[in-house]
Amino acid sequence: MAIPLSYNLRNLVVRRTTTLMTALGIALTVAVLLAVLALVDGLHVTLATSGDPRHVLVMRKGGTSELTSLVTRAQFQDLKFHSGIATGSDGQPLASLELITLISLQAEGSGTGDNVTIRGVMPAGIAMRHNVKLVAGRWFRQGVNEAVVGKSLSDQYPAARIGKKLRMGRSDWQIVGVMDAAGGAQASEIWGDVNQVAADWNRSLYMSSALVEAPDAATAKALVNSIGDDTRLDLGAELETDYFARQTQSAEPIEYTGIFVAIIMAIGSSFAAMNTMYAAVARRSREIGTLRVLGFSKLSILTSFWLESVLLAGLGGVIGCLLVLPLNGVTTEVGANFSQLAFAFHVTPESMVAGVVFAIALGSVGGLFPAAAAARKEILSALREI
Amino acid sequence: MRFLPLILRNSWRNRRRTLLTIASIGVSMCLLGVMIAMYSAFWLSKPRDNQALRLVVRNRVSLAVFLPLAYQQQIEKIPGVREVMVDTWFGGVYKDAREARNNFPRFSVEPGKLFTLFPEWSIPEDQKQAFIHERTACVIGRDLANTFGFHLGDRIPLQGDIFPGNFEFTVRGIFDAASNSDVMYFNKEYIDQALPERRRGFVDTFYVLIDDPQHSSRIAEAIDAEFRNSTGATKTESEQAFVVGFLSMLGNVRMFLVWISAAVMFTILLVSANTMAMSVRERVREVGVLKTLGFTPGTILGLILGEAAAISVAGGAIGYLISTLLLKGVQRSPMGGFLPALRVVDPLIAAVCIALAVSIGLVSSLVPALGASRAPIVEALRSTD
């Protein structure tokens, strides 16, 4: 017969200081793990909302990054009339030739500059990106050095606010608007007229990439293949969503470091849990003897003490989740592709479950030996102990 | 001090608990040791001798904007400058860029000056001469050679992206460096040759060798002043600052380190406090006996605090030793290339770790120790727990 769970619960309550301290140690371990997972998940969410399944990103053959890709104006002229590209309301193909480069912006109260993406776009490029909306000011005019900055940037960098002049490649640019991207990566970019950006960076021939839109998601896949197979074009294509999904690699160093730290901390906390449970077993020697006399088997003693350790760790896991919750929605940034990308921590229910499971695993390892020690006690000597 | 044997015997009484506590503190302390060492390598350490002599000049706008090659002669004329080398990030694609290890850093430089700027890298003289005299030659770091199994005479093809064209380099030298050397250098002349006329004469950065570390900020200011009103204004900083700036692109590393260290430290505090509370609770009667024998509350306080400090110092020392092993790994990892100032064994960091361990021990045991030292004799003797 099993010992009722309420016996363990009451024991945990009686030793509340020890219980709480051990659980808090486990909670911190879980909190570190969850914070790292929340960071990676937040990046995933941002990158997932950045791409549109109808968009096809065209880059140099074998190109993996817009920043180092090359597409000439001549190639773009051919690409524009490639079959399978949707037409916009003005009857023109939905295709935008774009130039991507970087500038360094200085954040408030920081001495070092951060790299920020500058994107020269065509009017079609603005129309195609449905997630990008102007939240203040107006769009830039063609043929003038005017720029619209992403909301994350204008929030963070005083030099990138509306009405300010920004020094870019070789001249000053007037900031005329602020755009938001419904959580997408574009909120961390600065946009201007592609021809102006090209002139300012002295790049008349080579642009970076082109974005084209297919009528729907199913034809987009076909468009990727037909552009890639077109030997005359000599360009590579991939779905915009795939491109952004690949960018999550940039968080890998942080992810691996975080998981490594959490595992080491878990080893430390499982030793601590072991300590607590050994003390519990030692203090309750007589109780264990009594339970045995009452007819509880060795196995049920083992299960009972092991469950107590699991309960203790589970409590730690839950506290860990609570500790991390305030982090949800806090903005941070990582470097992706050599430039800053702002996004919010995202604590998912899945990772919280994973955190509690992690804690329970840690508790069951830590509880096994003390529980076995409890079960091995001889009835008579256990009863005699004080 | 004469109670030291008593303290040690006391801490050794419940061996299993003491060992588990030491192990738990040790494991956490090793993380702390690694993080303290990385933090100090980034923000606190003085650059090493050779590194302190190097400045990096780049375009103020960003690394993606080139500087005119003509600046080189102007920088050379600034007093205190011994050598100026062009160093340009080549980018390019080796085989398949989708595989991470293929994206090792590659730079086009001036072969004759590379080992003057980086005297801490060792390379046989004949290999160095071959690199200087052959236009399509390249030198690679030992780590890169090991990763791909490259040998002298092997050919490495690269497809240019920032600099369009197909290039093939012959490995003429392999150099050894203390930190990560997953890197490739080749002759900028070879790249220039393939470029159209109007794309030549632009560089990413200038590496400047100066005569005295003391002059570095003065020379950096002089360089920036020289080009303040030109088309491409420059930003000159020490190599160390340049590296830290580059790393900040990975995210807020500093905040990351501080927060994790805080969490780890708090965990150790909890573990240690828990252990001390448990062992004091078991010994209330004993404390009563000691008091009856004439031990003062102050001595009792000292005995318990000392025991906690002894346990956490043992944990701290073990943790520090493990951390040096981990740091060796960090140094050989790709990250290590960014951490030139990282030292595996640093007496100062060892001292900080031990000091932290002592203070954690003292703080964690303060509450149970005070409780025990203040307990009235009669109550303590009556305790049955």
Phi, psi of A104 (to 5 degrees): -105, 125
Res. A323 pLDDT band, cuts 50 70 90: very high
DSSP state of A141: P
- Statement to judge: residues B224 and B292 lie in one domain: no
> For position A174, what pLDDT does the model report?
95
Percentage of the residues of chain A whose pLDDT score is greater than 90 = 45
> For position A279, what pLDDT does the model report?
85
Q: A265 to chain B: which residues are within 8 Å by CB? A: 27-28, 31, 263-264, 267
Nearest of A193, A110, A180, A122 to residue A151 by alpha carbon? A180
Phi, psi of B375 (to 5 degrees): -65, 135
Mean pLDDT of A225-250: 87
> For position A324, what pLDDT does the model report?
93
- Statement to judge: residues B214 and B95 lie in one domain: yes
Q: In whole angstroms, what is the distance from residue B353 CA to residue B355 CA?
A: 5
Res. A223 pLDDT band, cuts 50 70 90: very high
On whether residue B238 sits in a domain, the answer given is no
Model pLDDT for residues A186-199, shown as the tens digit of each residue: 999 999 999 999 98
> For position B219, what pLDDT does the model report?
93
- pLDDT of A135 strictly over 90: yes
- The three-state secondary structure class of A149 is strand
Greater confidence (B187 vs A279) lies with B187
> For position B270, what pLDDT does the model report?
86
Chains A and B: how many Cβ contacts under 8 Å? 154
- Statement to judge: residues B130 and B187 lie in one domain: yes
- Statement to judge: residues B216 and B272 lie in one domain: no
ipTM confidence: 0.76
**Residue B303 near residue B3, CB atoms below 8 Å:** yes
- Statement to judge: residues B110 and B215 lie in one domain: yes
End-of-domain residue from the set B232, B262, B296: B232
Q: B62 to chain A: which residues are within 8 Å by CB? A: 101-104, 113, 115
- Statement to judge: residues B111 and B156 lie in one domain: yes
The answer to whether the Cβ–Cβ distance between B250 and A68 falls below 8 Å is no
- Name the β-bridge partners of A72: A206
- Statement to judge: residues B42 and B86 lie in one domain: no
End-of-domain residue from the set B204, B232, B260: B232
On whether residue B35 sits in a domain, the answer given is yes
* Per-residue tens of pLDDT for chain B, all 385 residues: 678 888 888 888 888 889 999 999 999 899 899 888 888 877 776 666 778 899 999 887 777 678 899 999 999 999 999 999 999 988 888 988 777 788 888 999 999 999 999 998 999 999 999 999 999 999 999 989 998 999 999 999 998 877 888 999 999 999 998 777 889 999 999 999 888 887 788 898 999 999 988 898 899 999 999 998 777 788 898 887 887 776 665 666 677 778 888 888 888 888 888 888 888 888 888 888 888 998 898 898 999 999 999 999 999 999 999 999 988 887 777 666 656 567 777 888 899 999 999 998 999 889 888 988 888 888 888 776 5
Percentage of the residues of chain A whose pLDDT score is greater than 70 = 96
Distance of CA A320 to the CA centre of its chain: 19
Mean pLDDT of A69-78: 89
Chain A interface, mutation test: which of B240, B278, B279, B318, most A Cβ atoms within 10 Å? B278
Q: Say if B271 is an interface residue toward chain A (CB within 8 Å).
A: yes
Selected residues 192-251 of chain B with any CB under 8 Å from a CB in chain A: 231-232, 235, 241, 244-245, 248-251
3-state percent helix, strand, coil for chain A, nearest multiple of 5: 55, 20, 25
The answer to whether the Cβ–Cβ distance between B263 and A170 falls below 8 Å is no
Q: B329 to chain A: which residues are within 8 Å by CB? A: none
> For position A310, what pLDDT does the model report?
94
Chain A interface, mutation test: which of B14, B22, B27, B63, most A Cβ atoms within 10 Å? B27
> For position A45, what pLDDT does the model report?
87
Q: DSSP characters for B19-33?
A: HHHHHHHHHHHHHHH
> For position A385, what pLDDT does the model report?
72
The answer to whether the Cβ–Cβ distance between A278 and B61 falls below 8 Å is no
- Statement to judge: residues B117 and B67 lie in one domain: yes
Model pLDDT for residues A1-51, shown as the tens digit of each residue: 688 889 899 988 988 888 988 899 899 989 988 988 898 888 888 888 888
The answer to whether the Cβ–Cβ distance between B27 and A267 falls below 8 Å is yes
> For position B248, what pLDDT does the model report?
62
On whether residue B53 sits in a domain, the answer given is no
On whether residue B246 sits in a domain, the answer given is no
Among A235-239, A252-256, B99-103, B162-166, the range of highest mean pLDDT: A235-239
- Statement to judge: residues B228 and B286 lie in one domain: no
- Statement to judge: residues B87 and B207 lie in one domain: yes
- Statement to judge: residues B208 and B312 lie in one domain: no
Q: What rounded mean pLDDT belongs to chain A?
A: 88
- pLDDT of A111 strictly over 80: no
> For position B348, what pLDDT does the model report?
87
End-of-domain residue from the set B180, B198, B232: B232
Give the domain extent around B101: 61-232
Spatial CB neighbours of A254, under 8 Å, sequence gap ≥ 6: A36, A39, A40, A334, B250, B251, B256
Number of domains in chain B: 2
Q: DSSP characters for A330-381?
A: -EEEEEETTEEEEEE----HHHHHHHHHHHHHHHHHHHHHHHHHHHH--HHH
> For position B62, what pLDDT does the model report?
72
How much is the pTM?
0.78
> For position A252, what pLDDT does the model report?
77
Question: For residue A14, what are its two tokens?
Answer: 């009686």
